[in-house]
């Protein structure tokens, strides 16, 4: 009886370096696909309440154009004296506004507005 060989690896490539390069290439393709999908295929973004609180003001109306950095709305957070202001992270057009001042909103459940972002920008 002969002893089985130890420390042998089954691999498709000659060295581990090729496996590493294949993994890097695969990850790059996946990330690029996701970014292209988000920038060019998703037409609109639903903005939900990031935290629970009360809507103090909505600074946009349906149909208005917003630029990156424009104020969208303000929320009064529980236990905070000043309302937190939320600004647009991308330019686009407001498709609908569902929240009104003095509305109570819950984190991740209540929709505040829907934004159609510019093609080629990440929402």
Report how far apart, in Å, the C-alpha atoms of 76 and of each of 15, 40, 44 are: 58, 34, 26
51 and 111 fall within a common domain: yes
Question: What was the pLDDT predicted at 17?
Answer: 72
Report how far apart, in Å, the C-alpha atoms of 70 and of each of 13, 66, 73 are: 52, 6, 10
Question: What was the pLDDT predicted at 28?
Answer: 96
* pLDDT surpasses 60 at 1: no
C-alpha span between 13 and 117 (Å, rounded): 44
C-alpha span between 87 and 64 (Å, rounded): 14
C-alpha span between 43 and 1 (Å, rounded): 68
Question: What was the pLDDT predicted at 13?
Answer: 60
Question: What was the pLDDT predicted at 20?
Answer: 82
pLDDT greater at residue 73 or residue 20:
73
The number of domains in the chain is 2
65 and 22 fall within a common domain: no
Question: What was the pLDDT predicted at 12?
Answer: 62
Tell me which residue range forms the domain holding 25. Answer: 10-41
66 and 101 fall within a common domain: yes
**pTM for the predicted model, two decimal places:** 0.70
108 and 81 fall within a common domain: yes
Please report whether residue 3 resides in a domain: no
105 and 49 fall within a common domain: yes
49 and 31 fall within a common domain: no
108-116 mean pLDDT? 93
35 and 64 fall within a common domain: no
C-alpha span between 22 and 50 (Å, rounded): 38
56 and 102 fall within a common domain: yes
27 and 50 fall within a common domain: no
Please report whether residue 1 resides in a domain: no
Nearest alpha-carbon partner for 50 in 25, 22, 75: 75
Give 119's pLDDT tier (boundaries 50, 70, 90): confident
* pLDDT surpasses 60 at 97: yes
30 and 76 fall within a common domain: no
13-29 mean pLDDT? 82
Please report whether residue 108 resides in a domain: yes
Over residues 23-63, the pLDDT tens digits come to 899 999 999 999 998 888 888 989 999 999 999 999 999 99
- The domain that holds 75 is classified in CATH as 2.40.50.100
């Amino acid at each position: 009886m002969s002893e089985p060989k130890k420390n042998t690896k089954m691999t498709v490539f000659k060295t581990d370096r090729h496996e590493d390069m294949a993994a890097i290439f695969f990850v790059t393709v996946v990330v690029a696909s996701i970014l292209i999908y988000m920038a060019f295929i998703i037409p609109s973004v639903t903005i939900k309440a990031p935290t629970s609180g009360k809507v103090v003001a909505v600074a946009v109306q349906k149909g208005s154009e917003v630029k990156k950095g424009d104020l969208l709305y303000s929320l009064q957070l529980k236990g905070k004296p000043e309302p937190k202001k939320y600004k647009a992270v991308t330019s686009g057009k407001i498709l609908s506004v569902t929240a009104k001042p003095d509305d109570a909103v819950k984190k991740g459940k209540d929709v505040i507005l829907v934004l159609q972002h510019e093609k080629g920008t990440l929402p």
